[in-house]
Chain A
Amino acid sequence: MSDSFVTASAELTNAVGLHARPSVKLTQLAKSFACDLEVALAADGPWVDAKSPVKIMRVKAAKGTILHFRARGADAAAAVASVVDLVGRRFDEDEASLEEARG
């Protein structure tokens, strides 16, 4: 097992930021990996456990924030790739109806 971190970053582009539903999705995905996975608003931390919805919500990340991830452990690379992908997919939130309502 390596002691070095796998890191990556992704911009929050979904309209509502890292709110309730995205937070739950992110932590659920994080928990599916064995490695430690952490998230921060800056490349040098402070780091927060990405498997804790309580801690993720405390970060209160708004739209446009860059999320930094770091992981350490057997499946670290896969974990980081998966969460970056989830952020890139805007947490699979359907925002069409929202945009439509705003006309």
Chain B
Amino acid sequence: MADIRLKGRRASPGFAAGEVVVLSTRAVVRVATGDPAREADALQTAVKAATRELAALAGHAAGEEADIIGFQLALLDDAALTEPALLAIANGVAADHAWAATLDREIADYQGAEDEYFRARAGDFKDIRDRVLGHLRGIHAAAPPPGAILVADDLPPSRFLAADWSRGGAILLTGGSASSHVAMLARSRGIPMIVGLGGDPAAIAGEVLVDAGAGEVVVAPSDVERRRFEARRQADLRVAHDAAKALDKPAATRDGVRIAVHLNVSDPDEIGSLDPVVCDGIGLVRTEFLFHARRGLPDEDTQFRVYRRIAAWAAGRPVTIRTLDAGGDKPIEGLTVPGESNPFLGVRGIRLSLARPEIFRVQLRALARAAAHGNVRIMLPMITVPGEIAAARALLDQEVRSLLAAGTPARRPPLGIMVEVPAVAIAIDLYEAEFYSIGSNDLTQYVTAAGRDIAAVADLADPSNPAVMRLIERVARHGRERRREVCLCGDIGGDPDLIPHLLRAGLRSVSVPPAAIARAKAAIGTVDLGGQAAIVSAKV
């Protein structure tokens, strides 16, 4: 049997082999009974089952989540929703096709709406469509088996988080984007993922071999193909093994230029099992995880304890904690502004913190208190004008003074900024800060005007675009001249293919997810900066 070879884009490198689990409910075939009365019954039963399922979910939900479920329940309960489908069924259409066509019309209507809010409701109707289809076709939204190779057209982050990845697995998407949230999650967990395979997810069936680093999938492999794959996987394991040996050692280029490698931390649980000796510190702690609790925002003591715990883990190494970076694609209920027509250009990051000083001050106080117990540094996201740094600095100084006046142990931590808005990268000399960290994900999407979650423009949102590289070079040069540390904490900092370019652009510090640190160090070790290192040091 000839094997089928599919080619997509690498979203997260790695190997996987096994049977696939197709997640797209629309690709599953249901055998119709051919009897309109029984088809109508099947639809009604599926709608009732979906309603029960939603009602059970509603019992555990609060706030916005409860509202969304309540809304979907109200729609499912409305005979007007099923009416057109029942009419089609009476005319001989199978239940699942009738339902899908009815809901697709509804979805298309919302997608064409002028108002952004109404357009977004298409997602609710898709949810309802798929939930009922799942029941009609006898497949439920249950989590896939552990270690599964998931195939879908696209995957929402919630499905990724619901799956058990402790036994490996992989993600194969016919659509999707390498810069989506799911791709970021896959990279940070070390789960192989390929996007943009094209075609119908149902065409990827049975046994597959996945080489996500090469963006390649072999469907129904021959024995020859299996042996080849195994050889490649072993070779990769040897590389990984060598990389792991270098894990405990500080990173340096082949010609001996020392490169600082820091960790990106999205959740303190990620570092619990790691030895801090593998890194030069933490280059980015995302604090959004603290703000996603069901009830209310975290108080000062709660935040302080978490920050202190991370600083204690780092054992004296610098720990750069980013103040809340909500907004954009990271909404937080009760905090971010709902219904913005373009959230990426809206009230996000430092803009939101300065608009809500009562919340920002609490975070600054908790950080200043944690700084008394470790090498904590504060980083401000989405800085656009120098005035924002001044405003944040004034608030921080005030809070430190008030803590010290009350006899609470505190220290004024160094205050640095993210360089992710092109305005900052272009005129970096106007932005006085104690350190800089290039957020290459947002910088790339703002420079290329291409959204990282939009598959159709994914190729445009290319961090190796010369304009992005020139900005990185400019910021790195400014750092050398002013003796300010410049780090890079975007995805490309851990990309073995791009690391040589970053180092040649003058970067000497990167921050990467825990799963990428060994490969990043190995990639650094292969780079020869040759004469460049000498030229650079002569300039400094």
Contact = CB atoms under 8 A, between A and B. Distances in A.
B346 to A, nearest CB: 10
A21 B109 contact: no
B80 interface: yes
A57 B71 CA distance: 11
Interface string A2-30: 00000000000001110111011001100
A102 to B, nearest CB: 6
A53 B338 contact: no
Interface string A74-99: 00000000000000000000000110
B67 interface: yes
Interface stretch (B329-337, B425-433, B458-466): B329-337
B333 to A, nearest CB: 10
Nearest to A63: B115
Given A20-B67, A20-B121, A53-B75, A101 B356 contact: yes
Interface in A40-77: 49, 52-55, 57-58, 60, 62
Contacts of A23: 71, 74
B81 A54 contact: yes
Interface in B345-359: 347, 352, 355-356
B335 A24 contact: no
Contacts of A15: 339
Given A52-B80, A97-B334, A101-B335, A20 B115 contact: no
Interface of B is mostly: helix
Contact of A101 (B79, B80, B115, B337): B337
A98 B334 CA distance: 8
Interface of A is mostly: helix
Nearest to A21: B67
B466 to A, nearest CB: 38
A19 B117 contact: yes
A27 B74 contact: yes
B121 A57 contact: yes
Contact of B355 (A17, A19, A103): A103
A89 to B, nearest CB: 18
A54 B339 CA distance: 21
28 contacts: A16-B338, A17-B115, A19-B118, A20-B68, A20-B121, A21-B67, A21-B71, A23-B71, A23-B74, A24-B74, A28-B74, A52-B78, A52-B80, A53-B71, A53-B75, A54-B81, A55-B78, A57-B75, A58-B109, A60-B118, A98-B337, A98-B338, A101-B335, A101-B337, A101-B352, A101-B356, A102-B347, A102-B355
Interface of B: 67-68, 70-71, 74-75, 77-81, 106, 109, 113, 115, 117-118, 121, 124, 334-339, 347, 352, 355-356
